[in-house]
Each structure stands twice: as C-alpha cells, then as structure tokens.
Structure 1
Amino acid sequence: MCVCVRKPGYDSSLTDAQWAVVEPLLPRAHPSVGGRPRVHSRRLVVDTISYVLASGCAWRSAPRDLAPWTTAYRVFAAWTADGTWQRVRDVLRDRVRERDGRDPQPSAASLDSQSVKTSEGGERIGYDAGKRVRGRKRHVLVDTLGLILGVAVGSASVQDRPGARRILTGIRRAFPLPELVWADGGYVNSEDATLVDWARRQEKAEIVAVPRNADVAGFQVLPRRWVAERTFGWLTRCRRLTRDYERKTARAEAMIQFAMIRLMAARLADEHIEPRGPIETEAARRLAEDLKD
C-alpha cells in the first residue's frame, strides 16, 4: 500500500479525469515479501515522466516535488520493456474510435516518416542525406483520425522502404481490416516495386502513393498524407520529441507512445490538450472532406 500524499501537479500532469482513464490500464506493483511499502505513487511517477516529456528537460532536472528521477526512469524503462505503453495506447485508441462512432479496427492507414536530430550518442544513429539531418528517423502508421497504429525508430540513414517493411510486418494480424495504406513517393518507387509487392503478398495491404505537385515549391498539404503530418505536429508539441534524446530506440518509441496516450486520455476525458487554431481548423475541414469521399 502506498503511503505517499498526492502533491500539487504541473501543467504537464494528468488531471483527475485523465488519470481515471489511464490508471486502470497500468500494471500494479506487487510488494515484495519483507520489503518496505512504496514511497511514490504510480500517479506521481507518471506525472514525472509526463513532465520530462512535455518540458524536454533531462531526467535529472525533474522537479524535486515529483518522484525521484531514478524511480521515474526505472519505471519508464520497465514499462517499455514489458510492452505496457503499447498496450495502453492500443486500448485507448480503440476507445477513442468507438466514441467517434467508428469501428475499433481501422480500414485505412497513412504512413510517413520524420528525421530528427539526436542530442548525444546512442544506438542506430545515421545521416539522412535528403533532409541533411544526422540522427534518427521515425516511421509512424496512423489511422484516419491520426491515432498511432504503429511506430518504429531507426537510423536516419535507413531509407523509407526498409522502415516501412518493419512497421508493416504483422499489420494483418494486429489489424485485420486495413487494405489501403497511403504513403509518399519515398516508400513507393516506380523503379523498385519490391515494397508494394511484398505488402500486397505478405500483409494483403495496398500501398498507394500520394505524389507531390512538382509545380508547387515548398511545403504542400497533400491529401490523405496530411493526417500523418498532423500527428507529427501533435507529437512535437512535446519538447522532448523535438529532438531524439534517448540512447535506445525502444525508449524513443516509448516516448512517442506515451505522448499519444496523453493526447487520447485527454480526449476521452473531454479535455483536449492539442492546440486550437488556424492549422487545426483547416485540418478539421480537410478531414470532413476526406470522410465524404
């Protein structure tokens, strides 16, 4: 039994309503025989992880009135290793889809990648010559609401097609319904249809390229693909994700999953934490248009 007292939270802390959504899905600690009671509650530990994610600070710089950084990091690493973050993410995604009147199983998905700089050493660090970024590349597969179905982090030097194969492997077992996967030209190369053929044969999924307009310079909002771009925008509102600070890619993936958990918990608690502004208004309009198609 925990003997701690709930301490005042920060803006990054989960509200009572959000915690009520997340808490039943988290592992419960099993007290060891003859061991002392837990000093820090799971909620305080989660609030500490949330503070690090939202503020972008180092673990050692977490405020003293939260859980000790060593405790928070140990729990974060343990829940990464046993798949807790992924399980919680999947449960909350199904609930969000059901609340929006959708089938929990998505029928289409969008695939995209993002190259980010790393702050220091670690595994799988490379150079993306196209983006001129030394660091890692994040591949995300999202449904039509922008909720993450899968995430894979690897070296920035790895091309999009190997990253797509990694994230799409086993998609048919996890999500029986998706038949269409929208992606950019980096995933679908007319000179090399290996990935398209593999996805069609192995995962029964059709990868469809959404090409850019060569006559338009600069950033373009592309049909279908903008959903994944918006998800990257949601993620990088968390300062920890503007760069990759993790030494291990598994923990980099876990930070992304936890960011999505916070967002979905807020939605289920009717406390939206994503910003509202011209970009979000335009995204909502485009989503309504896509749903009519």
Structure 2
Amino acid sequence: MCQCNDSGAAGARCYPSDLSDAAWAVIEPLMPVRDQAKGGAPRTYGDRLVLDAILFVLRSGCQWRMIPRDLLPWDAAYRWYRTWKADGTWDRLHDRLRELVRIAEGRACDPSAAILDAQSIKSSEGGAERGFDAGKRTTGRKRHLITDTLGLVLVVAVTSASVQDRPGGRRVLERLAAAFPSIGLIWADAGYANQVDNRLLAWAYETLRLTVEIVRRPEGAKGFQVLPRRWVVERTFGWLVRNRRLARDYERLTGNSETMVKIAMIRLMATRLAGQSARWSNRPATRSA
C-alpha cells in the first residue's frame, strides 16, 4: 500500500521512482523471509515501502534525511539499506534477477563472454578513494564495470579516478574469474592494452585463463563511433547515470557506490521482467492500494 495524501484519487498516488505492482511481484518472492521463531518485535515497515524509499534516494539523488515523510523515516530506510548490504541481500537479489533476465532472453544463466570498460565520475567532497583522472580531467572516482552481452552488470569495482584502466582492470577481472568460471572471452577498449604495454592481456590469460580482446577504433575515424561489442557496456553506463545518485558519486565509501549500481540494475531488471519499459520521466504514477 502506498501511503499518500490523495485519498480521493482512483488509485493510490505514488512517486515515479516507486516499484509498480508487476515489478514488485517479481521481487517479492526473492526477498529474505524473516524467521519468526527468533522472536523480536513485528516489522513496522514492509519491504516494498523500504525499497520505494531507497529507490527515491537513488532516482532523485537526494540525501537520506530528505526522504519524504509519507514514505517512512529516513533512518529506517538507511538501516535496512545497510542491513541488506551487510547480509548480502542486494547481491543475491541482483544476481538472481540477472539470471532470470538471461533465461527470459533465451540465454544460459552463466555467460561465456563479457565486456569491460571504465567510467570516471565526479564525486562530492571528502570520502574514501578520491583522485584525479588526468585523461578525462575529472576529480572523483572511477567505475570499473564488466557486463554480459545483454548489458547486465556482472562485476563492478569503484576506485579513485586516479587508478588507471589496467590496474583497475586487474581488480575486476579477478572478481570475474572467481564468480564466473564459465567466461573465457572479454572485449575491452585500447585503454587496457597498446602496442607497447600488453601486460594485462598476458596476465589475464596466464593467471585467469581469460582471453582479453581489444576492440579498436578504425584508423582515421573522427568523432563518435559505435564500436562492436563496446557499445553494450557504454549503454549500461547510460542506464546508470539516469539515476541522479549515480550521475555524481555522493557516497563516502566505495562499497556503497558499488551497492547503488546494483540497486539501479535491480530496478531495471525487475521492470524488464515485469514486461514494462523503464520510465525515466517525472510524471506521477499510480498503483493499486
């Protein structure tokens, strides 16, 4: 039920960031079940209301303390955000939804190929691991992302923007090899290797048994070019920054930055599995009470 003031409306008025009934029907069976045998006070706020509050922060980019009062107290939303991060709920939910999307698209649960890229993003003042990317002239952090061929996130690592692509690539490739032994081929851009330094490619093959294939721009090409395979991960970066919390990195800890990326993908994948398109407008939505 959506708590609101428009009691006379045909349907309960809610925020555009809220989960639709169909999207919640996808997520609800995957949420952790509280063990009543352990006792404790009854839950004051349901999982759907907590998720809607967290998604409001993600989509609007507001501070936690600015969550509207007709959702729930900000400290309750933040407490559950931290709890689900600590117990692995966000990771399990994200990974299971990715499997369901791949199955719905006629793919195997475990991918065999992936795409690697990085995105420098400005950050707020302070916080851990903040640096300057001289190439992009950006002060902040860098998201190292590996997606499958559908653009779904497999591995994400957030570092200082001063970390170069090659050392950052090692970090995410190690995580990828541990989590997805089925993957044998990675596409990446020229920032991960050049004619002088191909150490990352050799290390990935010798240590992780991963073949990293560099997708280069055509010689003499000027301006924007859609490159094979690489456009997939670029589209994923576009999906992410549509959420204002991810258009700029406001998190003090890089672990929270990585979690916000997964929450954005959770909303996107749940919407897709519900057979709906992801709406990014500010048009108010309604849902049944």
Structure 2 length as normaliser, TM-score? 0.89
What is the rounded CA distance, in whole Å, between the counterparts of 1:214 and 1:242 in structure 2?
A: 32
Q: In structure 1, what is the equivalent of residue 29 of structure 2?
A: 24
* 2:109 corresponds to 1:142: no
Range with greater deviation from structure 2 (223-232 or 13-22): 13-22
Does the CA contact (< 8 Å) of 1:116 and 1:135 recur in 2?
A: yes
Do the aligned partners of residues 109 and 33 (structure 1) sit closer, same or farther apart at CA in structure 2, a change above 3 Å counting? closer
What is the rounded CA distance, in whole Å, between the counterparts of 1:49 and 1:201 in structure 2?
A: 42
| Corresponding residue SS for 1:74 | helix
Residue 80 of structure 1, CA deviation: 1.6
* 2:105 corresponds to 1:96: no
Alignment deviations for residues 258-293 of structure 1 (CA, whole Å, 9 cap, x no partner): 000101001111012067xxxxxxxxxxxxxxxxxx
Sequence identity percentage: 56
AA aligned opposite 2:24? W
Instruction: Point out which structure has higher relative CO (alpha carbons under 8 A, 6+ apart).
Output: 2
Structure 2: any 5+ residue segments left out of the alignment? 4-11, 281-289
User: RMSD of the TM alignment (CA)?
Assistant: 1.8
| Corresponding residue SS for 2:192 | coil
> Which among 230, 239, 257 is matched to residue 234 of structure 1?
239
Do the aligned partners of residues 31 and 59 (structure 1) sit closer, same or farther apart at CA in structure 2, a change above 3 Å counting? farther
> Which among 63, 66, 88 is matched to residue 68 of structure 2?
63
Do the aligned partners of residues 26 and 34 (structure 1) sit closer, same or farther apart at CA in structure 2, a change above 3 Å counting? closer
Q: In structure 1, what is the equivalent of residue 261 of structure 2?
A: 256
What is the rounded CA distance, in whole Å, between the counterparts of 2:198 and 2:39 in structure 1?
A: 61
Residue 33 of structure 1, CA deviation: 6.8
Do the aligned partners of residues 104 and 35 (structure 1) sit closer, same or farther apart at CA in structure 2, a change above 3 Å counting? closer
Alignment deviations for residues 62-82 of structure 1 (CA, whole Å, 9 cap, x no partner): 111112111111111221222
Does the CA contact (< 8 Å) of 1:188 and 1:207 recur in 2?
A: no
Does the CA contact (< 8 Å) of 1:92 and 1:264 recur in 2?
A: yes
Do the aligned partners of residues 32 and 119 (structure 1) sit closer, same or farther apart at CA in structure 2, a change above 3 Å counting? farther
Q: In structure 2, what is the equivalent of residue 216 of structure 1?
A: 221
Alignment deviations for residues 106-141 of structure 1 (CA, whole Å, 9 cap, x no partner): 111100110000022100000000000000000110
What is the rounded CA distance, in whole Å, between the counterparts of 1:112 and 1:6 in structure 2?
A: 39
> Which among 178, 190, 196 is matched to residue 195 of structure 2?
190
Residue 30 of structure 1, CA deviation: 4.6
Q: In structure 2, what is the equivalent of residue 287 of structure 1?
A: none
> Which among 4, 10, 15 is matched to residue 10 of structure 1?
15
AA aligned opposite 1:200? Y
What is the rounded CA distance, in whole Å, between the counterparts of 2:107 and 2:39 in structure 1?
A: 49
1:84-163 to structure 2, matched below 5 A, reads 84-163=89-168
| Corresponding residue SS for 1:136 | strand
Does the CA contact (< 8 Å) of 2:155 and 2:175 recur in 1?
A: no
Q: How many residues align?
A: 271
Range with greater deviation from structure 2 (215-224 or 88-97): 215-224
Q: In structure 2, what is the equivalent of residue 282 of structure 1?
A: none
What is the rounded CA distance, in whole Å, between the counterparts of 1:225 and 1:83 in structure 2?
A: 30
What is the rounded CA distance, in whole Å, between the counterparts of 2:254 and 2:35 in structure 1?
A: 28
Structure 1 length as normaliser, TM-score? 0.87
Q: In structure 2, what is the equivalent of residue 167 of structure 1?
A: 172
1:28-47 to structure 2, matched below 5 A, reads 28-30=33-35, 35-47=40-52
| Corresponding residue SS for 2:106 | coil
What is the rounded CA distance, in whole Å, between the counterparts of 1:177 and 1:87 in structure 2?
A: 19
Q: In structure 2, what is the equivalent of residue 203 of structure 1?
A: 208
Q: In structure 1, what is the equivalent of residue 9 of structure 2?
A: none
| Corresponding residue SS for 2:156 | strand
